[in-house]
Every structure is written in C-alpha cells, then in structure tokens.
Copies of this chain bind each other. A is one copy, B any other.
Amino acid sequence: MTHSFYPPQRTLMGPGPSDVSSRVLGALARPTIGHLDPLFLHLMDEIKTLLQFAFKTNNALTLPVSAPGSAGMEACFVNLVSPGDKVIVCQNGVFGGRMQENVERCGGIAVMVQDTWGEPVSLDKVEAAFDEHPDAAILAFVHAETSTGVHSDAKALCALAARRGALSIVDAVTSLGGIDVAVDEWGVDAMYSGTQKCLSCVPGISPVTFSERAVQRIKERKHKVQSWFLDMQLVMGYWGGTTKRAYHHTAPINNLYALHESLVMLQEEGLAAAHARHRRNHHALVAGLEAMGLAMAVAPEHRLPQLNSVLIPAGVDDAALRNALLNEFDLEIGAGLGALAGKTWRIGLMGFGSSERNVVYCLAALEAILQQQDVAIMSGKALKAARAVFAQD
C-alpha cells in the first residue's frame, strides 16, 4: 500500500519553482467549480486583465496556457511559424537551443546566433544575421536566461526585429514579475512566461500574449497549426470573451485560482515596488557572497536580480554542497546547466522568495556548509554586508 505524501517545508532558492506563499496555496485548495460556470468565466476575465497588467499590454490575446512554460514556448512557435519560415534564434544559454528545436519541429529554418553562455545577446550579431537573411520572418530570444542568470536587452532586440519587418518571440519565463517587462512599449509580438518563477505561483501554467500583428499572422496561416491543444484560434474561442465561449479543453481550474491570487498580490504590491524589492535583495545577496570571498559569474550590468549565478570555488564538491544545504537546511539552490554544469550555482530570489529572510538564511547556511567542508572563505562578514544593503532603503 502506498501512503499519502507529506513534503517537507523547503526554502526554494533554485531557478524555480520558487517559494509559494500560503495565500497562493490557500487559493489553490479552494473548492473546484466547473470550467463553464459563470463565476469561473468571470474569473477568467479577471485573470486576463491581471496578465495584461503584468505584461504591460493591451493585447486582447493574453491568456494562461494550461501547461508549463515549455508549452507556452511551443504555443508561440507553432502558431507563428509556418513550414519554410526562417527564424533567427539567439542562443546564449539552454533555452535558445530549445527554441531551435521548436522552430525545426514546425518545419521552419532556424538561423542560429550564438553568444557565450553568461553574456547577453549581441545586437550586432543579430543585425548581421538579418543582413545575411533579410527574409527572416521572426526573431526569437530569451529575455532572462534561466540557465546563466543573464539579462538581454529585449527593448532593443524587439525594435531591431520591427525595423527588419520581422515578428519577435520573447521568452519571459524568468523575467515576468522580477524585472521590467513592457510588451506594448517594446513592441513584442509574442511572449510567454511561467507561473513558478517571479509570479511565485505553483508550476504548471504559462501566461502568453500576442500582439495584433501576431494575431494577423495567425489568421493568415495557410497551414493548420500542428498542435490542436495549442492552436490559438481554438483557444481564443474559450478565452475570447466577446462571443459565446466554446468549450476547448477543461481548464486547470484550481491552478487558475492560484495564478489569480498571485497576480492579485503582484497588483497589490505594484510592479515597480516588486522590481525594486528584487533588486534590493539581489544586491544584499551579492554583497554577502562577495564578503564571503565568492565571485559572481555574470558581469554586474547583465545580472538578473532574480537569478544569481555564483562561481563554484575551486575544490568544492558541487553536488555534496547542494545536498548538504538540502538535507541540513531544507534549502534548495540550483546547479549549473549545460555548459555551466559543475561551474556555477544558481541562487534564485524570485517573487515571494525574494525576501530579506531568504537572503539571510541562504548566506548563513552557505557559510556554515562551506566551513564544514573546509573551504577557505571569509567568515562572519556576509550577514553584515547584506544587512548594510537592507539598511540603505
């Protein structure tokens, strides 16, 4: 016989999922109602409005895809890429590679622009790619690379795409809620995010938004969208709102209660205040880590406040340290991914998890375990350095 599962109370400071507040967990557990219940349809309208607020957009086609961020990514590509389309894909980490997979599985041609992992997307290289491929229909890039902790200039990249007559697809999985995202001002054509990063909701839902230009492109498609589940023309029938709602699939009701609550919390705090909180806690964490003698992997001007890549000091057993943090402190931090596996740790300060408490707890736990493993660090300085940053505000 299998027994019920009772998870421990972890502190989640990896690349996501991030800590979920009890308000959001409470919303998740409210009684399920039907996906065609008038009260649920009203909730859907509110979620749409709240997502427009979070994305800073008036896009009518703004909704939560009923599956994780990977499906949100796929929703953007399968709806916008037709067979034979050329797509310029920027890769400066893991997720650019996944975009390439998506383009190719849609029958498109991916033109790859490679940048070093840990550095932002180079505008010059993208310009050069458009020079070489003036017929490129789409530019796709990652705003906040979860695998490296790097921030690229989404505004400039979208402007570049627009100048070249291409649509832009932007991965905002880790950026939304943590740093500024301004869909309308930047002229983003399609953007997808995830709920389990800076929105601090449970994983499993992917907010997306499509510009009018993107909707036009979808309507003009000559080749049916290859995914029935992710076909926006069909999904719109359920989420549309203006006409009678058509059943498409059963929405993940309880997850949408939770997403709604997390967005209400974001609205209560305000976007600017949420971003400032992410920045302040980031600076405090970095001050603490540096005071300990550790070094960051990304140059200061490109760092994401919500995802801090730290170089693993020489001689440290990466897995042993992360296991000790998990087992002795119930604290999860992230391993490096891909090219950075074994070289970096990724410390998330995302959404509800971006708190002074988590900064202090992480520094204290990390210092304790590094000392225990006889790693040469500067002891007893980290908390003071972090608290000095808190005191500045």
Could you tell me the distance between the alpha carbons of A62 and B10 in the complex, rounded to whole angstroms?
Answer: 28
**Nearest-neighbor residue (CB-CB) of A194 within chain B:** B250
Chain A residue total in the interface (Cβ 8 A): 80
A131 interfacial contact with B, CB 8 Å:
no
How many identical subunits does the complex contain? 2
A250 in complex: contacting residue of B17, B102, B106, CB < 8 Å: B17
A226 interfacial contact with B, CB 8 Å:
yes
Question: What is the 8 Å Cβ interface bit string for chain A, positions 6-35, against chain B (1 contact, 0 not)?
Answer: 111110101011011001011111111111
Interface locus among A66-74, A118-126, A300-308, A371-379: A66-74
A105 in complex: contacting residue of B23, B224, B251, B261, CB < 8 Å: B224
Interface locus among A134-142, A196-204, A213-221, A289-297: A196-204
Contact A69 B228 (CB under 8 A): no
Contact B253 A203 (CB under 8 A): yes
B-chain residues with CB within 8 Å of residue A70 when the two chains form the complex: 228-229, 248-250
Could you tell me the distance between the alpha carbons of A227 and B12 in the complex, rounded to whole angstroms?
Answer: 30
Interface locus among A42-50, A155-163, A183-191: A42-50
**Nearest-neighbor residue (CB-CB) of A49 within chain B:** B2
A326 interfacial contact with B, CB 8 Å:
yes
On whether A30 and B6 interact (CB within 8 A), knowing A203-B35, A204-B66, the answer reads yes
The 10 closest A-B pairs by CB, nearest first: A204-B252, A29-B29, A67-B67, A70-B249, A202-B254, A25-B29, A203-B250, A20-B32, A7-B33, A71-B229
